[in-house]
Chains A and B, each alone.
Chain A
Amino acid sequence: EAGVTQSPRYAVLQEGQAVSFWCDPISGHDTLYWYQQPRDQGPQLLVYFRDEAVIDNSQLPSDRFSAVRPKGTNSTLKIQSAKQGDTATYLCASSLTANTGQLYFGEGSKLTVL
């Protein structure tokens, strides 16, 4: 069974640039999460979806962040006008609501904003 796939693995931007991260969850998983993990900190939830619906996006830092999951499968997290404080690894995870609640994480996309 394929795991959660994320791309790109690395991104380096200047402040003010935009970036999009893509996530392909485990097939059949209805719930998809985006986490932000600054260096030496734990993952912090940004947003999560059940199928194509946003369940909670209250933790998205600002209007510069947006996330979509239009067909209830793949998802894109976009950061517009990036700032140095956005430097972090962005982790995507998926789960099957009906199971024990285990989250399966991808390897993450490491963003550096200069």
Chain B
Amino acid sequence: SQLAEENPWALSVHEGESVTVNCSYKTSITALQWYRQKSGEGPAQLILIRSNEREKRNGRLRATLDTSSQSSSLSITATRCEDTAVYFCARNYNVLYFGSGTKLTVEP
């Protein structure tokens, strides 16, 4: 079952632009993690945000969490071609269940 789902399914931006990926989840969480998967690689963690946090930053990345609406967002500023990847959100710690992901394409 999909306990966390990203939207939109796909996005395309030009280098330097900002972009936001959204995530909705269906049950209570202790934390939410964002992962990025580049072509031919396994997913890699970007940010972990705990249920008592509202915002977390990691360089050009910013994640927000709204437990009342059971949603999260991941924003990337000053995008680069190397940000082209599929972005996933996943609930909680350790045992992770992924959605289908948002495919982001950053064009020169």
Contacts and interface: CB of A to CB of B under 8 A. Distances in A.
A33 B92 CA distance: 15
Interface in A58-114: 91, 93, 95, 97, 100-103, 105-108
Contacts of B94: 31, 95, 97, 101, 103
Interface residues on A, range: 20 to 34
Contact of B92 (A45, A91, A101): A101
Nearest to B2: A42
Contacts of B101: 41-42
Interface in B92-108: 92-101
* Chain A facing B: main interface SS: loop
Nearest to A91: B42
Nearest to B4: A42
Contact of A44 (B31, B41, B98): B98
Nearest to B88: A42
B97 A45 contact: yes
A48 B40 CA distance: 23
B40 A107 contact: yes
Nearest to A3: B42
B48 A102 contact: yes
